[in-house]
Amino acid sequence: MTEQTKRKAPAPKSVNPNKTDNGAFVFADDSGNTYEVRADGVYKTAKGSTDERKLCDALEIVALTRNNESKDWGVWIRFKDIDEQTHSLVLSGGLLTQGKKLEEFLSSEGLRIPCLSGNSGKSPLVDFFNALPRTLPRALSVDQGGFASDKFDSFVFGDNVVLHLDDAEPISPTYDEVAATLVERGSLEEWQADVSIPALHSKRLMFGLCVSLSAPLLPIVGVPSSIFHFYGRSSCGKTSIQKAAASVWGGEERIYSWQATANGLEGLAKLHNNQPLILDEIGQAESSGIKAVYSMTNEKEKTRSTASGKLRKSNNWRVNFLSSGEFSLSEIREQILKGEQLGAATGELARFIGIPADAGRGLGVLDSLPEGLERDTKHAAAFIRSVSSMKATGTAGRAFLMALMKDVAKSGRADIEARLRSTIEIIEERLAEETLNASTEALENRVLERFAAVALAGELAADYGVLGWEKGDATEAVIECFKAWRESDESPAERVARVIDRILSLPDTDGANFAIYEWQGENFTCINRPNRSATGIVVVRAAPLDGLPNRADRVATLYLASQFRELCNKHGERLRNDEIIEALQKTGLLVSNQTGRRPQYQISKSVCELRNKTRAYVIIPDGLEESRKEALRMLGARNV
């Protein structure tokens, strides 16, 4: 198989039996009328007549088209307008039943039609298209970019550009703007010298390039869409990462703003199916865009109905996003939503992966500078700008896609999937070697798989000769960024730890709103009663000297079910109640041996203001078994 790149989609290779020796295409309809497609136009001769009638100027009948489900049949045509501009169009079956609409459409595209519909509405041109022989070549019609089918042998860009293998079925995009365009400038060698080789001085730059390359790999290995978000102070190099990533497929026109509605972002996601979508400065996002983070990575637009009330076909996509901004997702939610849906849901944190942009070496996103450059911010800024100059673009994406399609055709999809599993194992082993322990939590395993897909894309690109890197370079960069995410405030583990610490500290920071009872050997004495409804009940061993108990004084904190729900809603950063309960149980802070959904204890004797046998969540200040036993003894509690 040889590499082919065409501005226009390839024509079918089938021999047309209806063509004459002089190149004319002749056929008859069921009524005996004869049609002839010649170099100067399309002609019709009625049955029993010798008079020709010109229906329209010259056009080429390329193929009969249908989609992957063998529906939406149509006709693929090509023609030139008076400015010699080529138009490649797919006429849908529905359009071929409406003469005037068909004529209006083709006329607006620049085709001259001297024989128009009469008062009867009967269109000679519609008759011509509907009489086309069923023996014409076939082509696959697509209304979305990316891989045209699960054969992964054709990839559709905008402007009717299709990258394909030699034996791939011809592809016809239904319109030019079906996808983001591939903009090629310069050579692959120039791009490597300007971008990918200098990027070796920054693990984050390398990661951004791998994210860009990983987008077409996602449907092959079955990894879902993700948003990789670099955040941190301005002028540290975040935009340079995005420019370098954009240069894989085109220029700065590939960098979009977060300042769009939810519908606008969904439209961009559809346009970039199997391609990277680069979104700059999340601080400019609208509230609807922030709320749409989950749906953007859910890979399907909202279900909508047509004017007649029928459900409209929803668009799908699979995209890797590369985002940037000064703030993390949680911080942006707090700033933009102002109290509404604060924090990020756990599912969002697995899809919206925040990575601190600063590498921590005083050089912004850089880890080092080339030999001979003074190690300071001025030289670092100049170097990072040079990496994102975009003198050569698009060549890396083209070379990677062609090599990837050949690889799938030769080795099979299962082999690529096996390489992903191997990459996951390599990353887990490296994390274990560095005493970080490989991820064991289900959520972190999901995130690790997404990072591994990025690493695999980089390693494949290195194998294909696209990046100019050594084996293992891409994986090293991905591991570094995974560690940065895992140790950041945006990781699920850090958020859970933050929420648990806030819950444990609440009696210290808000003690005045807790009912506080001192244990006096056999009974309890109230030493603080809030003026309003209590947040909860704190049991202490002895009355604190300063009026507020610290953790050393506390035996336990008790919450009724309603109080616990309010606590989770107010301080849980959008963690679900059951997630908070599970985290408290794992750390031994929630006193319960139950495994059900309501791990509460039933107090069997009069404790504080609780009536006999009242259910309550019992939280101890540490996870020690001695503390748990002491709390149970004082509270006289028993499992239900």
Q: How confident is the model at residue 429 (pLDDT cuts 50, 70, 90)?
A: very high
Mean per-residue pLDDT over the chain, rounded: 86
Q: Where in the chain is the domain with CATH 3.40.50?
A: 188-304+313-486
Listed in sequence order, the residues at least 6 apart from 160 whose beta carbon sits closer than 8 Å to its beta carbon are 7, 8, 9, 88, 173, 176
Are the C-beta atoms of residues 267 and 391 closer than 8 Å to each other? no
Which pLDDT score, from 0 to 100, does residue 639 have? Answer: 39
Which pLDDT score, from 0 to 100, does residue 340 have? Answer: 52
Listed in sequence order, the residues at least 6 apart from 189 whose beta carbon sits closer than 8 Å to its beta carbon are none
Least confident of 156-170, 196-210, 526-540: 526-540
Q: Which amino acid is at 177?
A: E
Query: What are the pLDDT digits (tens) for 364-411?
Result: 999 999 988 888 888 888 898 888 878 999 999 999 999 999 999 999
| Total residues found in the chain within this entry | 640
Residue 600 has pLDDT above 70, yes or no: no
Which pLDDT score, from 0 to 100, does residue 387 have? Answer: 87
Which pLDDT score, from 0 to 100, does residue 441 have? Answer: 67
Ramachandran angles phi, psi of 99, nearest 5°:
-55, -55
Query: What are the pLDDT digits (tens) for 225-268?
Result: 999 999 998 888 999 999 999 999 999 999 999 998 888 999 99
Q: What torsion, rounded to 10 degrees, do the Cα atoms 49, 50, 53, 55 define?
A: 80
Would you state the CATH architecture of domain 188-304+313-486? 3-Layer(aba) Sandwich (3.40)
Are the C-beta atoms of residues 232 and 467 closer than 8 Å to each other? no
CB atoms within 10 A of CB 373: 14
Residue 288 has pLDDT above 90, yes or no: no
Longest dimension (CA), the chain: 118
Residue 7 has pLDDT above 70, yes or no: no
Instruction: Work out the percent of the chain whose per-residue pLDDT is above 70.
Output: 85
* pTM of the entire predicted model: 0.82
Query: What are the pLDDT digits (tens) for 15-33?
Result: 444 555 567 899 999 999 9
Residue 490 has pLDDT above 90, yes or no: no
Q: Per-residue pLDDT averaged across 119-142, rounded? A: 91
Which pLDDT score, from 0 to 100, does residue 607 have? Answer: 55
Which pLDDT score, from 0 to 100, does residue 3 have? Answer: 39
Which pLDDT score, from 0 to 100, does residue 37 have? Answer: 96
Which pLDDT score, from 0 to 100, does residue 15 have? Answer: 40
Stronger pLDDT, 509 or 422, i.e. the higher one:
422
Which pLDDT score, from 0 to 100, does residue 44 have? Answer: 96
- Give the three-state DSSP class for 31: coil
Query: What are the pLDDT digits (tens) for 516-565?
Result: 888 777 777 888 888 888 899 998 887 766 666 677 788 899 998 889 99
Which pLDDT score, from 0 to 100, does residue 389 have? Answer: 77
Query: What are the pLDDT digits (tens) for 81-126?
Result: 999 999 989 999 989 999 999 999 999 999 999 999 876 678 999 9
Least confident of 262-266, 304-308, 623-627: 304-308
Q: What torsion, rounded to 10 degrees, do the Cα atoms 564, 570, 575, 580 define?
A: -30
- The DSSP bridge partners found for residue 172 are 141
Residue 593 has pLDDT above 80, yes or no: no
Which pLDDT score, from 0 to 100, does residue 540 have? Answer: 87
Which pLDDT score, from 0 to 100, does residue 6 have? Answer: 40
